[in-house]
């Protein structure tokens, strides 16, 4: 009787172990993510992400899921020497995309 209980306990423990080792749950769709950040043209100087890059991402099947300001840049610009320098704030947004991962066949 003692051996039977030991064998059943060992079998049950093995079953739980094998169940825990199986792959990830396939009920969730795997996604790929992509981010487009404003490129730095020179140290401290940036340019906006071009519309052609955004259009190309859309044509490749990427879905836009978020746009956030990535860089805030303050510049002082003068119109005349007697006037105080007004501050101009520029923002350079970053774009985030997702799409379903293409499974290899």
pLDDT per residue as tens digits for the range 31-81? 899 999 999 888 878 889 999 999 999 999 999 999 999 888 777 666 656
Number of independent structural domains in the chain: 1
Work out the average pLDDT over 89-103. Answer: 87
pLDDT of residue 82: 62
What pLDDT was estimated at residue 27? Answer: 61
- pLDDT confidence of residue 97: 96
Residue 36 in domain: yes
pLDDT band at 85 (very low <50, low <70, confident <90, very high): low
Q: What is the pLDDT of residue 84?
A: 64
- With respect to residue 42, please indicate whether it lies within any of the assigned structural domains: yes
Give residue 20's pLDDT band: very low, low, confident or very high (50, 70, 90): confident
18 occurs within a structural domain: no
Owning domain of residue 43: 27-100
8 within a domain of the structure (yes/no): no
pTM for this prediction: 0.61
95 CB burial (10 A radius; 0-12, 13-18, 19+)? buried
Q: What does the DSSP assignment read for 24-83?
A: --TTSPPEEEEEE-PPEEETTEE-PPPHHHHHHHHHTTPEEEEEEEEEEEEEE--SSSSS
Residue 64 lies in a domain: yes
Is residue 46 assigned to a domain?
yes
Q: Rounded to whole angstroms, how far apart are CA atoms 67 and 97? A: 9
Q: Is residue 19 in some structural domain?
A: no
Give every strand in the sheet of 31-36, ordered side by side.
Answer: 31-36, 87-100, 63-76
Give which of 99, 100, 96 is closest to 54, Cα–Cα: 96
Does residue 79 form part of some domain?
Answer: yes
């Amino acid at each position: 009787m003692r051996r039977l209980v030991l064998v059943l306990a060992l079998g049950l423990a093995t079953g739980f172990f094998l169940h825990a080792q199986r792959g990830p749950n396939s009920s969730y769709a795997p996604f790929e993510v992509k981010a487009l950040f404003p490129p730095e043209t020179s140290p401290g100087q940036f340019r906006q992400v071009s519309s052609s890059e955004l259009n190309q991402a859309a044509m490749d099947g990427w879905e836009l899921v978020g746009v956030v300001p990535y860089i805030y840049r303050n510049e002082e610009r003068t119109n005349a020497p007697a006037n105080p320098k007004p501050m101009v704030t520029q923002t350079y947004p970053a774009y985030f995309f997702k799409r379903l991962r293409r499974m290899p066949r």
